[in-house]
Amino acid sequence: MTDVRHAVPLPLLFLFSLFFGTLPMDGLADNADRLQQLRQQIHDLRSELDSDRQRRQSLQSRLRNMEKRIGKTAALLRELDQQIHRQNRELKTLQKKQKGLHGNLRQQHLALARQLRAAYTSGQQEYLKILLSQQDPAAVARILTYYDYYNRARLKEMQTINTHLTELTTLEKKIQQQTRQLEQNRTERVNERQQMEQGRSERSQLLSQLKKDMRGKDQRLSQLLEDEKSLQRVLKRIAERPPKAPMELSEGKPFRQLRGKLIWPTAGRITANFGSRRKVGKLRWQGVRIRTREGTGVHAISHGQVAFSDWLRGFGLLTIIDHGDGYMSLYGGNQSLYKEVGDWVEAGEAIAAVGNSGGNEKYALYFEIRHNGKPINPLKWCRGKPKKVASR
């Protein structure tokens, strides 16, 4: 299909027809100035088209930066949520330990009080009576040993109480520190959430500007063709990488033997099937779109190595996993990416969160499987259908 950038715009065709349809053949020499004027109009219109194209490229670049920033913020929010969850658990553990120490101290205080009362009741008189008595020295020695043991036990009990008091003081300080850190993380989370909402508002305005610049179907078709070329260039670079270490992350079967056994990368509903017609031109979907909720987890369908993890025009925040033997899986339109190029992943491992990056309005994952660069039907490789999204 001809790229619209090289096609003659309709306004130019109209000017040509207007000029040549009304100009008498014998008046060509006298109307050289009109021809020059027409050429100037053509030049001006081409300049305007070039300016429009540059403006679209600038808007796409701004969209790329904005969606990457939103993705990083979403990933930070996820990390903060995990930290808050861990800190809540640790705080509960510390508070439980604190409660146990308080209980132990109460028991030890009661035991010590009983010992002191018993010592006071018996007093020193019993001890003196034993020393002054005319009893058998061996018996006296045994009784004195008992009193010595009794006193040492009481002293040990007091030392234990002091140790627990020190532990309790340290623990209370740790609880206070953990509580402050938790509140700080919660405040940071609120600030990051506000920044993300602001970024989404700016993104929405950008998308409106892009739509105004791409009203015609020819322009939209040209955009889709350029998007596909961008992806092909990325896949070619991946294929041309130097040989890497064999995939030893898992002892499972090679990818080619997993046809019909792979997991789906996310839960949701398929809204665009492999091979179905797209809305413009004769293009067809080369993967599937899975509609789901924002932030739903995206998981690797099999073990492999991350070969691409970045923003790509038309695909938004995109992760590509190399499964070896020419097989790759692509996950596009994400809100945030969790893995970097070179990371090894296992089947089912979280690699991203579903979003609407790439200029999409609805939240969905775009998912492809390719072999030697050619798209293959995911429905024939994954088990059944994606799971339904759990109700909130």
Could you give the CA distance from residue 169 to residue 269 in angstroms, rounded to a whole number?
55
pLDDT single digits (tens) 117-165: 766 665 555 555 555 555 556 665 665 576 666 667 767 766 777 787 7
Average pLDDT over residues 349-371: 92
Query: 115 with 196, same domain?
Result: yes
Q: Is the pLDDT of residue 255 over 80?
A: yes
Decide if 5 is inside a domain.
Answer: no
Q: Note the pLDDT of residue 278.
A: 83
Query: 107 with 237, same domain?
Result: no
Angle at 63 between CA 58 and CA 68, to 5 degrees: 130
Decide if 138 is inside a domain.
Answer: yes
Query: 296 with 257, same domain?
Result: yes
Decide if 52 is inside a domain.
Answer: yes
CATH number of the CATH domain containing 303 = 2.70.70.10
Decide if 106 is inside a domain.
Answer: yes
Closest-CA residue to 38 (of 16, 53, 54, 57): 16
Decide if 262 is inside a domain.
Answer: yes
Portion of the chain with pLDDT greater than 70, in percent: 62
Angle at 250 between CA 248 and CA 255, to 5 degrees: 95
Q: Note the pLDDT of residue 136.
A: 58
Q: Note the pLDDT of residue 233.
A: 78
Could you give the CA distance from residue 138 to residue 120 in angstroms, rounded to a whole number?
26
Query: 323 with 376, same domain?
Result: yes
Decide if 362 is inside a domain.
Answer: yes
Picking from 177, 206, 235, the residue at the C-terminal end of a domain is 206
Query: 347 with 274, same domain?
Result: yes
Portion of the chain with pLDDT greater than 90, in percent: 27
Could you give the CA distance from residue 318 to residue 328 in angstroms, rounded to a whole number?
13
Q: Is the pLDDT of residue 358 over 60?
A: yes
Query: 162 with 258, same domain?
Result: no
DSSP 37: H
Query: 14 with 128, same domain?
Result: no
Could you give the CA distance from residue 146 to residue 248 in angstroms, rounded to a whole number?
68
Picking from 206, 229, 260, the residue at the C-terminal end of a domain is 206
CB 326 within 8 A of CB 287: no
SS3 content of the chain, % helix, strand, coil (to 5): 60, 15, 25
Polymer length of the chain: 392
Picking from 161, 179, 206, the residue at the C-terminal end of a domain is 206
Place of tokens 């739509």: 211
Q: Which two tokens mark 212? A: 């105004």
Q: Note the pLDDT of residue 247.
A: 53
pLDDT single digits (tens) 369-383: 999 989 999 999 999
Note down the domain range covering 29: 10-70
Q: Note the pLDDT of residue 281.
A: 66
Could you give the CA distance from residue 374 to residue 286 in angstroms, rounded to a whole number?
9
Other CB atoms within 10 Å distance of the CB of residue 264: 22
- Identify the bridge partners of residue 297 per DSSP, sorted by sequence position: 353
Contacts of 56 (CB under 8 A, 6+ apart): 210, 213, 214
Using CA atoms of 323, 328, 329, 333 in order, give the dihedral in degrees to the nearest 10. 130
Q: Which amino acid, residue 134?
A: Q
Decide if 387 is inside a domain.
Answer: no
Query: 52 with 191, same domain?
Result: no
pLDDT single digits (tens) 195-252: 767 776 777 676 666 666 555 545 555 666 677 777 777 877 887 776 554 555 445 6
Query: 98 with 22, same domain?
Result: no
Closest-CA residue to 349 (of 270, 266, 268): 266
Q: What is the largest CA-CA distance in the chain?
A: 158
Could you give the CA distance from residue 277 to residue 116 in angstroms, rounded to a whole number?
91
Could you give the CA distance from residue 390 to residue 293 in angstroms, rounded to a whole number?
10
Residue 304 φ then ψ, to 5°: 170, -170
Query: 17 with 113, same domain?
Result: no
Q: Which residue has the higher pLDDT, 54 or 340?
A: 340
Could you give the CA distance from residue 90 to residue 74 in angstroms, rounded to a whole number?
24
Query: 102 with 60, same domain?
Result: no
Q: Which two tokens mark 7? A: 């096609």
Could you give the CA distance from residue 131 to residue 194 in angstroms, rounded to a whole number?
82
Is the CA virtual torsion 11, 12, 14, 15 positive or negative?
Answer: positive
Average pLDDT over residues 359-372: 92
Q: Note the pLDDT of residue 52.
A: 64
Question: Where would I find the H helices in 214-248?
Answer: 217-239
Decide if 101 is inside a domain.
Answer: yes
Could you give the CA distance from residue 200 to residue 203 in angstroms, rounded to a whole number?
5
Could you give the CA distance from residue 175 to residue 92 in angstroms, rounded to a whole number?
9
Is the CA virtual torsion 304, 309, 312, 314 positive or negative?
Answer: positive
Average pLDDT over residues 184-204: 74
Closest-CA residue to 244 (of 328, 374, 342): 342
pLDDT single digits (tens) 97-109: 777 777 777 777 7
Query: 263 with 154, same domain?
Result: no
Number of domains in the chain: 3
Q: Note the pLDDT of residue 26.
A: 52
